[in-house]
Amino acid sequence: MTRPLHIGFIPLIDAAALILAVDRGFTAAEGLDVTLVREVSWSNIRDKLNVGLFDAAHLLAPVAIASSLGLGHIKVPIVAPFNLGLNGNAITVSPPLHAALMAEIDGDRFDPMATARALSRVVASRRRGGAEPLTFGMTFPFSTHNYQLRFWMAAGGVDPDEDVRLVVLPPPFMADSIASGQIDGFCVGAPWNSIAVDRGVGHILHFVSDILERAAEKVLAIRAGWSEKNPQVVAALVRAASRAAEFIEQPQNRAEVAFVLARPEYIGVDADLILRTLEGRLKISPDGTFRECRRYLLLGREDASRPDPVQAAWLYAQMVRWGQAPMSAEALGTAKRVFRPDLYAAALDRGKLAANSPHPVGAFAGPNFDADDIAGHLASFRIGRWKPL
Amino acid sequence: MGAESSPKIAIVDESPIRAAILEEGLREAGYTDVVRIGEMQSLLSRIYALDPDVIVIDLENPSRDILEQMFQVSRAVRRPIAMFVDQSDAASIQASVDAGVSAYIVDGLKKERLKPILDLCISRFNAFSKLQDELDRTKSALEDRKVIDRAKGILMKLKGLTEDEAYVLLRSTAMREKKKIGEIAQSILTASELLK
């Protein structure tokens, strides 16, 4: 056994690989003594990881990059040797906004370009009528939720900084806030969209996989310095998380996984609701309409666990687009090096796999993403805070 | 505090007792402009209405992420705030995270004016946790007393002992088994429930 490790997590479904790794004894089998610590905010996770109270954490991928770049906070280099979750976010809107969008939509309601253009018309008509701008909730300034919402609405001509309000809200507050009318929509991870639908206060408008084919949302984050000093421990953690991810993705294990995650010390919500998100079969409307998507919430399948520097580059590009980070080749390099497929491959002896299978980001709008030419890529978007010289 | 006026400090804490302890400490130290926010609904608009120079928040509060938004320059944010730290202040973060408190400085206030406020918050937070621990210990001691009294009653009835004899029996059993008296008493209560 190594010395005890403390790993922080936020109660979300994409913490599953960490939770199951500990709960099913995969970490113990690797000789690790892990204590999971449930946290209430991403700021806490970031700070406790930074100061060493946590050895590792379930973290928003963009926070790992922001921390490595010293954006908004002290600079602490982070490495991500394992992806904990892809494509688990969804955009939910209030029943009145849903009705307004459906009245304006011209095209398929699951086509994000059609909904974004409808949103643009709703925004314009509200402005003409003197109504308050629409308000959307997301979970953190440096979050995929923030960037996914922005990417979607900007494609339809809505400027996320000028035409609507984006506000940070902790995930457990989303359903209450949409019910009370404080917000008109939000982008959040599982299970919080389903909770709003079950309560009859929201419609799931999009799975994030409508917007991007692959979006790395949460990573296993470790301080770079600590990782260098403890390569064996990092490899053991990656192996344990990988075994857990494989376990979670076996359809016959889903009910058990949902049951474990539902426990109050982990996520503490209804097991049936968790099961639906694991199955990628979600109730999207209070009237009981279901929608199935095989790309919803990748917790390990389709090579999801392998950190992909292209994803890190895309996230950095969003930081530049929305004015959070300056454009620099050096910063781009730093961002890419946060995602460590080499550590992943070394732990699992999957070197070949890492070299041979690139996955595109696959955004629904704009040109194909080029991880080596952020400026050229961003120049093709009309709305954004960054402008080419 | 010299010629400069007292900065306006907002305490965001859902624990009214801890917030009161903090406010009292700040006032004693000469900070006269202190406001408590205990209600997290519309936190951002409350903060804008108050327009504080310093915001102190406890780390058990999920609304901490809402404050992080104020780092951003956007339409929703009127006066940007910053974390109290720069690269040289790692020790301050460590101490404040350990204590369970975090402070944010609003654009315009000099950083060196924040340090004494933060130090005070850290010491008051630590004092509060100590108090809380003592309270928990007292509570559990009281709880033990009740359990021991009931166990004594059972022993007196079943074995025809006096109260003192019953206590001596509990104590000697606890010593022999290397357990606390409360634990032995609890197992007597459990056993007697089972055997009812």
Is B71 at the interface with chain A, CB within 8 A? yes
Instruction: Give the pLDDT of residue B75.
Output: 55
Q: Is the pLDDT of residue B68 over 70?
A: yes
**Overall residue count recorded for chain A in this entry:** 389
Nearest-by-CA chain B residue for A44? B59
Q: Is the pLDDT of residue B91 over 90?
A: no
Is A279 at the interface with chain B, CB within 8 A? no
Instruction: Give the pLDDT of residue A356.
Output: 54
Given a contact cutoff of 8 angstroms between Cβ atoms, the answer to whether A275 and A258 are in contact is yes
**Structure confidence at residue B104 as a pLDDT band (50, 70, 90):** confident
Instruction: Give the pLDDT of residue B111.
Output: 72
Instruction: Give the pLDDT of residue B3.
Output: 44
CB pair distance less than 8 Å for B90 and A170: no
Q: Which fold has domain A5-86+216-264+300-378?
A: D-Maltodextrin-Binding Protein; domain 2 (3.40.190)
Instruction: Give the pLDDT of residue B118.
Output: 84
Region B95-124: mean pLDDT is 83
Is B102 at the interface with chain A, CB within 8 A? yes
Stretch among A15-19, A71-75, A172-176, B73-77 having the lowest mean pLDDT: B73-77
Region A368-381: mean pLDDT is 94
Q: Which of A73, A167, A172 sits opposite B44 (nearest CB)?
A: A167
Q: Is the pLDDT of residue B55 over 80?
A: yes
**Range among A233-237, B124-128, B134-138, B165-169 with highest mean pLDDT value:** A233-237
Task: Report the SS3 class of residue A371.
Answer: coil
Nearest-by-CA chain A residue for B87? A74
Chain A stretch 96-115, residues whose beta carbon is closer than 8 A to a beta carbon of chain B: none
Q: Is the pLDDT of residue A106 over 70?
A: yes
CB pair distance less than 8 Å for B97 and A167: no
Chain A stretch 37-56, residues whose beta carbon is closer than 8 A to a beta carbon of chain B: 40-44, 47-48, 50-53
Given a contact cutoff of 8 angstroms between Cβ atoms, the answer to whether A296 and A204 are in contact is no
Residue type, A113: M
CB pair distance less than 8 Å for A167 and B65: no
More confident residue, A335 or A356: A335
**Structure confidence at residue A114 as a pLDDT band (50, 70, 90):** very high
In chain B, residues with a C-beta closer than 8 Å to the C-beta of A42 are 65, 68
Residue A210: left if φ>0, alpha if ψ -120 to 50, beta else—which one?
Answer: alpha
DSSP of B71-104:
GS-STT-SS-EEES--GGGHHHHHHHHHHTEEEE
In chain A, residues with a C-beta closer than 8 Å to the C-beta of B74 are 161, 166
Domain boundaries, chain A: 5-86+216-264+300-378, 90-210
B contact test, residue of A43, A59, A71 with most B CBs within 10 A: A43
d(C-alpha A31, C-alpha A296), whole Å:
33
A56-60 sheet: strands from edge to edge: A34-38, A5-9, A56-60, A216-223, A78-86
CB pair distance less than 8 Å for A53 and B98: yes
DSSP of A19-40:
HHHHHTTHHHHTT--EEEEE-S
Return all residues near A55 (Cβ < 8 A) that are at least 6 apart: A5, A6, A7, A222, A226, A233
In chain B, residues with a C-beta closer than 8 Å to the C-beta of A139 are 65
Q: Is the pLDDT of residue B123 over 60?
A: yes
Return all residues near A188 (Cβ < 8 A) that are at least 6 apart: A89, A90, A92, A137, A138, A139, A145, A171, A174
User: How many Å is the Cα radius of gyration of chain B?
Assistant: 25
Is A139 at the interface with chain B, CB within 8 A? yes
Instruction: Give the pLDDT of residue A358.
Output: 77
- Give the pairing of strands A281-283 and A185-188: unpaired
B contact test, residue of A6, A44, A123, A223 with most B CBs within 10 A: A44
Q: Which fold has domain A90-210?
A: D-Maltodextrin-Binding Protein; domain 2 (3.40.190)
Burial class (CB in 10 A: 0-12, 13-18, 19+), A19: buried
In chain B, residues with a C-beta closer than 8 Å to the C-beta of A40 are 59-62, 64
H or E, element range at A165: strand A165-168
Residue type, B143: E
Peptide bond into A191 cis (omega under 30): yes
d(C-alpha A197, C-alpha A186), whole Å:
12
DSSP 8-state symbol, A382 = S
In chain A, residues with a C-beta closer than 8 Å to the C-beta of B66 are 167-170
Q: In angstroms, what CA-CA distances link B22 with A363, B12, B76?
A: 49, 11, 29
Q: Is the pLDDT of residue A84 over 80?
A: yes
Task: Report the SS3 class of residue B48.
Answer: helix
**Tokens standing for residue B61:** 């509060």
H or E, element range at A206: strand A203-207
Among the residues of B29-162, which ranges form H helices? 43-50, 64-68, 90-99, 111-159
Region A57-85: mean pLDDT is 94
Instruction: Give the pLDDT of residue B115.
Output: 81
Q: Is the pLDDT of residue A352 over 70?
A: no
Residue type, A319: M
Q: What angle do CA A39, A211, A268 make, to 5 degrees?
A: 25
Q: A90-210: same fold as A5-86+216-264+300-378?
A: yes
CB pair distance less than 8 Å for B72 and A141: yes
d(C-alpha A282, C-alpha A95), whole Å:
17
More confident residue, A352 or A379: A379
In chain A, residues with a C-beta closer than 8 Å to the C-beta of B69 are 141, 167-168
Is A326 at the interface with chain B, CB within 8 A? no
CB pair distance less than 8 Å for A141 and B44: no
**Structure confidence at residue A353 as a pLDDT band (50, 70, 90):** low
> Residue written as tokens 């070394």?
A346
Given a contact cutoff of 8 angstroms between Cβ atoms, the answer to whether A67 and B68 are in contact is no
Region B123-129: mean pLDDT is 87
**Structure confidence at residue B76 as a pLDDT band (50, 70, 90):** low
B contact test, residue of A46, A51, A168 with most B CBs within 10 A: A168
Query: Domains, chain B, ranges and CATH?
Result: 9-133 (3.40.190), 138-194 (1.10.10.10)
In chain B, residues with a C-beta closer than 8 Å to the C-beta of A75 are 87
Count chain A–chain B contacts defined by CB atoms under 8 A.
Answer: 81
**Structure confidence at residue A349 as a pLDDT band (50, 70, 90):** confident
Q: How many CB atoms lie within 10 A of CB A376?
A: 11
More confident residue, A224 or B42: A224
DSSP 8-state symbol, A15 = G
**Tokens standing for residue B121:** 């918050």
Burial class (CB in 10 A: 0-12, 13-18, 19+), A218: buried
d(C-alpha B93, C-alpha B113), whole Å:
16
Q: Is the pLDDT of residue A94 over 70?
A: yes
d(C-alpha A329, C-alpha B113), whole Å:
37
**Structure confidence at residue B107 as a pLDDT band (50, 70, 90):** confident
Is B64 at the interface with chain A, CB within 8 A? yes
Q: Is the pLDDT of residue B1 over 80?
A: no
Predicted TM-score (pTM) of the model is: 0.88
Is A173 at the interface with chain B, CB within 8 A? yes
Instruction: Give the pLDDT of residue B141.
Output: 87
Q: Which of B71, B76, B102 sits opposite A166 (nearest CB)?
A: B76
CB pair distance less than 8 Å for A165 and B75: yes
Instruction: Give the pLDDT of residue B132.
Output: 85
Torsion sign (Cα): B86, B91, B94, B100: negative
pLDDT digits (tens, 9 = 90+) for A160-201: 999 999 999 999 899 999 999 999 999 999 999 999 999 999
DSSP of A57-77:
EEEEHHHHHHHHHT-SS----
Nearest-by-CA chain A residue for B104? A73
pLDDT digits (tens, 9 = 90+) for B8-41: 999 999 889 899 999 999 999 999 999 999 888 8
DSSP 8-state symbol, A90 = E
Report which of B176, B169, B172 is spatially closest to residue B153, judged by C-alpha positions.
B169
Instruction: Give the pLDDT of residue B2.
Output: 44
Mean pLDDT of all residues in chain A?
94
Residue A172: left if φ>0, alpha if ψ -120 to 50, beta else—which one?
Answer: alpha
CB pair distance less than 8 Å for B75 and A173: no
More confident residue, B73 or B11: B11
